[in-house]
Structure 1
């Protein structure tokens, strides 16, 4: 990632001339301002996920005091980057590939000494930086819901696989993610023989998994070695996802904020901001939107009720770029008129935002077709083989279920063969056919035990 300062000249957007049928993820007015591909960074704790994102995008995803103190990612981090290729034929690969911040102009000059060619914008990507710590598995699964591809980080100075490396691979397998690039990081800390030995371990580990056949790139994120190679592989190995621009818009919320400073005057208060990824359709400034399930309350009899939130879009942002309209892909900040107290501290995470009256139903119980893993991943058990086996589902089991960006507890009320009925602790906005991940509490931590598909469910009473 070059440190060269480049002035920001971006292609203008105009709602009046917007025609969703003519948009593609590579349309200049789209790719200039917002990312259209979501790439997750996954892997074991402290293997360098956040450092790689910073090396490519120039953005520090570790933003909270608690994260700095413990040197781990706790919340989902996010950062956008533009990837370019120099048009000068004398500028050879991989050095002709470069990445810059999201607000960089679309055709900067190549910064390689003696080149002087112009760079051509090829991709605008959004990184979803997932935590690698075992107790934060639910957060990682929420991030996996919006990923189109993944960078799997493996530290060169540790044996492979580490516990969460296996768990994250299983999670992306569940999410049906097929585009993976493996980064053998911290290569500057080991001798060549040790790096080659670990390369063999990686090949053995990915055999038979969704990552089999994925390219393995030796890098040093800290020293910025081989970052251009990652950029080249992102362009060549990760296909542009097929996007639906014409359906009713739907965004899943993975972060939410109150952007007001403490002590702000009443007249200066701004509405809450929802951050997430658009699954389909186009959101425009001025659109009327609905957020489901919305505010969840209980009546005196203990019955749950949901009050969807209705609002208007006041602003749209993709990192530092303001938008007139936003399309699927990338992480988008949606400024609304919703009471900021309902959005602060990620309170809207797991909710769905979209066109009024066009969102899926809200369910309080689900019938799922489930599949269990043979053994627990990421558990170094002292009890050996027996202890790491996944116990079958039984009535009254307490599980955690991940649906899209929602994590909620649930109780198993019935099991028959590979079908289970789950009563949820909090209502979810979802639909039949949606994939879910199932986790069980093992040694005080939630562990991934399997996945399932929603067959049907019980709607919440209006």
Structure 2
């Protein structure tokens, strides 16, 4: 492990944007704002109007779907289906009943937890997706809700954002329109109001093309282990997003940070985990970069079992190609002017960061505690990571 200091950004080549690649969309929003209900509507699942979900989402829920559009030019007719379901053959919209439907977009949806206690999981998921759909209720004032923080975080990450005003069936038109701006799509997932408009927005979004030719790099968002009943081997299954490169069968992969120990001088040392793939699956078919995938490998549980209980936020890739692991960071920060207090349910002025203060840091999808060692000029802070 080493200490890293702030460095100037290297010159980066221009981004290549495309509307044809696979798109990963994260649904975020605090509280019961209808994220899972909107997901059901987009997947064309039946929604039981007599039963509204009472338990919150506590972990990431990932599902893949296809967006179809009418083959007739310049028509606002769209349909969506979960992968594996029957493809709509005909448009069916008034005036276009006999027109065929064509595939417009492959998309993966990530339903994020909305309760305040799962805030680090929600913020970490922002790094996993291309586009962020922030949901806010029609009766709430967006700038006075915790969704304000999500919009600020998305802006810092440079993510594309669509704000969706949900539950418009629960308010009058005048009250709902007070919150609507050009950025916002008003919907009712229960009544499927404006779901077609959401599909159109998804189809038209352009994102940066991914690199299939670089060494493999994958961000892990979940994992589990199970015993194969036939061979008796312990199988490790890793779920993540392939950020670059392309996996191959029987490929050797490195997982970082892995195990952390002390060297002869008492300094932290990173010991990556090495695995060999036995199988891989992709949400969208072929496991190309940008896809949400799962990979499996047989492991020696006695040696690494305690290291793979929770690898959320870890990275995996070609052996020897992954970045260094750091034990301390020097970061320039920009504090948001306000933060949401879940106890008073109000926005409050953000307090200054103090020396020796303990903070929860979410970097990518990995959260850890850190102690502020020094606060310097220009908002540069020296953190010791635990």
- Shorter chain as denominator, the TM-score bin is 0.7 to 0.9
Which residue, 43, 59, 77 being the options, matches 2:29?
A: 43
Map of 2:6 onto structure 1: none
Residues in 1 aligned to 2:107 and 2:195: alpha-carbon distance in whole angstroms: 15
Deviations 1:37-96 (A, max 9, x none): 211112221001111122113579xxxxxxx9952111112111111112145xx843x2
Residues in 1 aligned to 2:19 and 2:75: alpha-carbon distance in whole angstroms: 22
* Partner-residue secondary structure (3-state), 2:36: helix
Residues in 2 aligned to 1:353 and 1:302: alpha-carbon distance in whole angstroms: 27
- Following TM superposition, by how much is the alpha carbon of 1:108 offset from its aligned partner in structure 2, in angstroms? 4.9
Map of 2:210 onto structure 1: 243
Map of 1:294 onto structure 2: 258
Which residue, 310, 315, 320 being the options, matches 2:279?
A: 315
- Following TM superposition, by how much is the alpha carbon of 1:275 offset from its aligned partner in structure 2, in angstroms? 1.0
Residues in 2 aligned to 1:343 and 1:224: alpha-carbon distance in whole angstroms: 45
Residues 1:368 and 1:75: Cα distance change in structure 2 (over 3 Å): same
Residues in 1 aligned to 2:356 and 2:45: alpha-carbon distance in whole angstroms: 45
Q: Is the 8 A contact 1:77 1:129 kept in 2?
A: yes
* Partner-residue secondary structure (3-state), 1:258: strand
Residues in 2 aligned to 1:424 and 1:307: alpha-carbon distance in whole angstroms: 17
Which residue, 409, 418, 435 being the options, matches 2:369?
A: 409
Which residue, 194, 218, 238 being the options, matches 2:186?
A: 218
* Partner-residue secondary structure (3-state), 1:337: strand
* Partner-residue secondary structure (3-state), 1:400: strand
Map of 1:363 onto structure 2: 326
Structure 2: 5+ residue stretches without partners: 1-16, 47-51
- Following TM superposition, by how much is the alpha carbon of 1:342 offset from its aligned partner in structure 2, in angstroms? 5.1
Deviations 1:350-387 (A, max 9, x none): 111001100001111111122222232355759x99xx
Map of 2:92 onto structure 1: 112
Residues in 2 aligned to 1:312 and 1:228: alpha-carbon distance in whole angstroms: 43
Moved more, 159-168 or 396-405: 159-168
- Following TM superposition, by how much is the alpha carbon of 1:307 offset from its aligned partner in structure 2, in angstroms? 2.0
Query: What TM-score comes out, normalization by structure 1 length?
Result: 0.70
Structure 1: 5+ residue stretches without partners: 1-23, 61-67, 204-212, 426-462
**1:84 and 2:68 equivalent?**
yes
Residues 1:314 and 1:104: Cα distance change in structure 2 (over 3 Å): farther
- Following TM superposition, by how much is the alpha carbon of 1:299 offset from its aligned partner in structure 2, in angstroms? 7.9
Moved more, 112-121 or 412-421: 112-121
Q: Is the 8 A contact 1:81 1:102 kept in 2?
A: yes
Structure with greater contact order relative to length (CA < 8 Å, sep ≥ 6): 2
Residues in 2 aligned to 1:69 and 1:191: alpha-carbon distance in whole angstroms: 23
Moved more, 405-414 or 161-170: 161-170
Query: What TM-score comes out, normalization by structure 2 length?
Result: 0.83
Deviations 1:273-323 (A, max 9, x none): 11111221122222211111112346899754432111122222234x664
Residues in 2 aligned to 1:26 and 1:289: alpha-carbon distance in whole angstroms: 31
Q: Is the 8 A contact 2:218 2:244 kept in 1?
A: yes
- How many residues matched? 359
**1:393 and 2:353 equivalent?**
yes
* Partner-residue secondary structure (3-state), 1:174: helix
Residues in 2 aligned to 1:351 and 1:378: alpha-carbon distance in whole angstroms: 30
Deviations 1:227-278 (A, max 9, x none): 1110011112x11322222111100111112255xxx647244521111112
Which residue, 321, 334, 358 being the options, matches 2:295?
A: 334
Residues in 1 aligned to 2:88 and 2:318: alpha-carbon distance in whole angstroms: 38
**1:376 and 2:356 equivalent?**
no
**1:196 and 2:177 equivalent?**
yes
